[in-house]
Structure 1
């Protein structure tokens, strides 16, 4: 139906074509890549509309939500890059999209990064993903009464929590695929820590995902150890290690956070200035660990995590 409607020279029903494209992307798990040539430009055209009306905002939201469901990495760059850049940059200046639509635009773009590393520069330094994700996380967090918990939240809060969770998953894609550093990463780490602090007691799924994100950040070379320090990731992980209700899944992520950081701090640098910075960073971090009694914390978990040492060949350099 999509192909037939698109072929029409006269009498093409644009609304029907849009609806069909959205249904195709939202309801399928396996995509016909040939249909991307029709669906992607069609829905980007909807999202590019500049009229300021609630109807236009909702149309753009549905179009971008459908596009964000494309997990297939083989979408040709010429089909989307200029358009998605314009959509994101226009919103950064005019705030014309809903929060869900804006997050969906980023999600669509981030899924392309896994296969096309040429997008690194665009995403990091041109469109400023870390800055934008941090800003939206902070705005969304202010709209949720974190003390009440999920059982008492209203419809508006449910929507905000839903979008926060989508942002956290998009940030995961960013950490896994991005290869460029910029100074905005530290503030993004800080925002993840803030979300964790408010969500950990009553929104377990969000709290767990934040800790998983901190572990992922510690693994990725695009994130500097100093970003984790500035963003208070170390303070948070040290605090959480001492919680009496710590479950095994969270403890595992916290533990590997330190394994990854420790291993990175052991990598000697050829440049003398960089080597001096590494040593100073290592000294500061291990002083902090000593102040917090980290060696005792590790010892208390040693029996529980003996399988990690035995099966994964890991070691923390204390």
Structure 2
């Protein structure tokens, strides 16, 4: 059996001692191998030693800077898609060299090589992320200019996608609105009108903007009322979900997640952040919750990673009161959780968070209502929930889990699961 990480290292070694035509072939092969690396294999490859080695190859003229940039951008692209986090590039001799090159190129008064500067910025952001505010004014104008290109050729779409994906790596850093807001709003609006971005580029634009809310709450109105985030996310997830073969067995998928699967995972993480940080809501959120319940239904058998982030999202939605308990019932979330925890292949994580959600729903329905109208609505909701749970054999399911409540609390270092069964039941 060929170990992909060893194959990648072998190809890099061979890259040192071959001609230009062969180098192109080797780099294409390396690109394919990188895409096939699973998370663990990628971690074993993505090291300081790797980047120090590439730096030596550049120094010894065994790898041109042009080829190095192509290879590194592809590494950064794969790193972003795999949601892999590492500081190894910034700690390497190559990372330090790139940092100096960016500053030197930007400070040139004449004959500034803008394309070279963009390549350097994309590489650094994709591989490391820029953590100092002094760099914001260097890379932001250039990358946003690339991301704002309107041509619809595949080559330009790829450039736009790469620029937006690089900007995602600014994480939650505080960045002045005047450096990005009008451009990113225009990029999202244009896609909403003309559908001109790739799915990854679209999700990246949204991730970048949602991440800014962490340090600037004034963006909520733009996100909810002007750009209609929930509506946009619902549409994007619906399209992506149709591209996934949800019945594909786990073993068949091992280490071979499709781009659509990875983008869905990223979208749900982003929506969870949105629910955590944004207090402003509108009626479009219901459609989004329904869409994610549908994904949980589809993913529960063979897609544990996606199932887990869906459960995380519903947990946050309840905690932040983004949706009421009766709303989760009408959206299909309760159905999805019940089916999920009754799966023969149930994992501890899903069991723990699924039971926490059911306990929160029960607690919410038992809570004191503020007025008579709300009390009447609450009783009606309780009747619906009770009927649904009774049909699903809910009480028997909870009872069957009762013996492991204590184990799950210890397993996840929590005390969230009450040992009292009545805390999970809904009485009319």
TM over 0.5: yes
Equivalent of 1:185, from 266, 285, 300?
Answer: 285
Residues 90-105 of structure 1 aligned to structure 2 (within 5 Å): 90-105=190-205
Residues 72-91 of structure 1 aligned to structure 2 (within 5 Å): 72-91=172-191
Quickly say closer, same or farther: Cα 1:174–1:72, change in 2 above 3 A: closer
For structure 2, list consecutive stretches of 5 or more residues without a partner in the other structure.
1-100
Quickly say closer, same or farther: Cα 1:265–1:40, change in 2 above 3 A: farther
Query: Do the aligned partners of 1:43 and 1:67 also contact (CA within 8 Å) in 2?
Result: yes
Partner residue of 1:311? 415
Residues 163-312 of structure 1 aligned to structure 2 (within 5 Å): 163-306=263-406, 308=409, 311-312=415-416
Residue 201 of structure 1 deviates from its aligned partner by: 2.4
Look at both structures and tell me which one has the larger radius of gyration over its CA atoms.
Answer: 2
Partner residue of 2:127? 27
Residue 53 of structure 1 deviates from its aligned partner by: 1.7
Output the CA distance in 2 between the equivalents of 1:146 and 1:317. Answer: 32
Output the CA distance in 2 between the equivalents of 1:122 and 1:60. Answer: 22
Query: Do the aligned partners of 1:89 and 1:127 also contact (CA within 8 Å) in 2?
Result: yes
* Higher relative contact order (Cα pairs below 8 Å, separated by 6+ residues): 1
Output the CA distance in 2 between the equivalents of 1:179 and 1:270. Answer: 21
TM (normalized to structure 1)?
A: 0.90
- Whether 2:168 is the aligned partner of 1:68: answer yes
TM (normalized to structure 2)?
A: 0.68
Output the CA distance in 1 between the equivalents of 2:250 and 2:349. Answer: 21
Aligned with 2:280: secondary structure? Answer: coil
> Which deviates the most, 11-20 or 268-277?
268-277
Output the CA distance in 1 between the equivalents of 2:129 and 2:112. Answer: 27
Residue 156 of structure 1 deviates from its aligned partner by: 11
Query: Do the aligned partners of 2:395 and 2:425 also contact (CA within 8 Å) in 1?
Result: no
Output the CA distance in 1 between the equivalents of 2:263 and 2:282. Answer: 25
In the alignment of these two chains, the number of paired residues is 318
Residue 29 of structure 1 deviates from its aligned partner by: 4.8
Output the CA distance in 2 between the equivalents of 1:30 and 1:219. Answer: 33
Aligned with 2:415: secondary structure? Answer: helix
Residue 274 of structure 1 deviates from its aligned partner by: 3.0
> Which deviates the most, 275-284 or 75-84?
275-284
Query: Do the aligned partners of 1:178 and 1:222 also contact (CA within 8 Å) in 2?
Result: no
Query: Do the aligned partners of 2:131 and 2:173 also contact (CA within 8 Å) in 1?
Result: no
Residue 115 of structure 1 deviates from its aligned partner by: 2.2
Partner residue of 1:55? 155
Per-residue CA shift, 1:118-155, capped at 9, x if unaligned? 222221222111111121111112122222346556x9
Query: Do the aligned partners of 2:356 and 2:416 also contact (CA within 8 Å) in 1?
Result: no
Query: Do the aligned partners of 1:144 and 1:157 also contact (CA within 8 Å) in 2?
Result: no
Query: Do the aligned partners of 1:31 and 1:72 also contact (CA within 8 Å) in 2?
Result: no
Output the CA distance in 2 between the equivalents of 1:54 and 1:71. Answer: 27
For structure 1, list consecutive stretches of 5 or more residues without a partner in the other structure.
none
Output the CA distance in 2 between the equivalents of 1:206 and 1:150. Answer: 12
Residue 89 of structure 1 deviates from its aligned partner by: 0.5
Output the CA distance in 2 between the equivalents of 1:42 and 1:30. Answer: 15
Query: Do the aligned partners of 1:130 and 1:185 also contact (CA within 8 Å) in 2?
Result: yes
Output the CA distance in 2 between the equivalents of 1:231 and 1:127. Answer: 23
